Copies of this chain bind each other. A is one copy, B any other.
Amino acid sequence: MSRASDRAYDGIRGMIISGELAAGAPLGEEALAERCGVSRTPVREALRRLEGEMLVRRTESQRSFVADWSLDDIEDVFELRGILESRAARRAAERMDRNALQRLRASNDAIGRAVAMINPDIDEFLEGNREFHALILERADSPKLAALLSSLVEQPVVWRTAHHYGREELRRSHREHDELLAAFARGDGTWAEAIMLGHIKRAFHAYSDAHRGLSAIDRPDRKAKAKA
């Protein structure tokens, strides 16, 4: 969309993802308009978009609030992402070509560099990760699947998950991408699907462990994990 509408969307979205607007906080149109420096009209459009992406919840009386996610909600979304991204990986594997494979490798190499350091560059990891998954989705060549997934990824949850990753987990994610690349190189859709499912599952448990304390059976070894 055009200037003002985008400004409102990016602005509000940023405030939500960064936590500047806490979960459950009321979103008055007038106030947001002022904070974003636009009128209410583009703010209203932005709110509808964000509602579609489930970042904003609306009451039956049409008032908007920052969506608050229970752990069950989050698990639900991760499961759906697992299903849909697995399907994307399978289709991508079946449609892979030399050029796309090369771009995927380049993307994962960038991730590798970001996580190889003593202090991994989380933002660079996130950017590489986003690009890697976007490339897969592009290769999957299913506009409807892409539309569904776009309302699921990039939640604040995803952002925060990575920040709870330790260096070991970041590197594991990088290695799982390598596995995916192997499956893609062989055009093995079933393999790619299986790896992607595990990849998403691991991401959920990393998040889940970091929030409520540990998982059901207690967690296996973990190395150093700084708190911040």
Chain A residues with a Cβ under 8 A of chain B: 1-2, 41, 44-45, 48-49, 52, 54, 62, 73, 76-77, 80, 83-84, 87, 142-145, 147-148, 151-152
Q: List 15 A-B contacts (CB under 8 A).
A: A1-B62, A2-B62, A41-B41, A48-B49, A54-B144, A54-B147, A76-B143, A76-B144, A77-B144, A80-B144, A80-B145, A83-B84, A83-B87, A147-B151, A148-B152
Cα A83 to Cα B145 with chains together (Å): 11
4 closest residue pairs by CB, A with B: A76-B144, A52-B52, A76-B142, A77-B144
A148 and B151 in contact, given A2-B62, A83-B83 (Cβ under 8 angstroms)? yes
**Closest residue of B by beta carbon distance from A142:** B76
Give the distance to chain B from A158, nearest Cβ to Cβ, in Å.
14
A54: B residues at CB distance < 8 A: 144, 147
- Whether the Cβ atoms of B143 and A73 lie closer than 8 Å is yes
A148 in complex: contacting residue of B1, B73, B80, CB < 8 Å: B80
- Whether the Cβ atoms of B151 and A73 lie closer than 8 Å is no
Cα A151 to Cα B41 with chains together (Å): 24
Give the distance to chain B from A194, nearest Cβ to Cβ, in Å.
16
Cα A147 to Cα B76 with chains together (Å): 12
Give the distance to chain B from A43, nearest Cβ to Cβ, in Å.
13
Give the distance to chain B from A39, nearest Cβ to Cβ, in Å.
13
Having A45-B48, A52-B52, one finds 14 other A-B pairs with CB under 8 Å, namely: A1-B62, A2-B62, A44-B45, A48-B48, A48-B49, A54-B144, A54-B147, A73-B143, A76-B143, A76-B145, A80-B148, A83-B84, A147-B151, A148-B148
A45: B residues at CB distance < 8 A: 44, 48
Give the distance to chain B from A195, nearest Cβ to Cβ, in Å.
18
Give the distance to chain B from A139, nearest Cβ to Cβ, in Å.
15
A41: B residues at CB distance < 8 A: 41
A148: B residues at CB distance < 8 A: 80, 148, 151-152
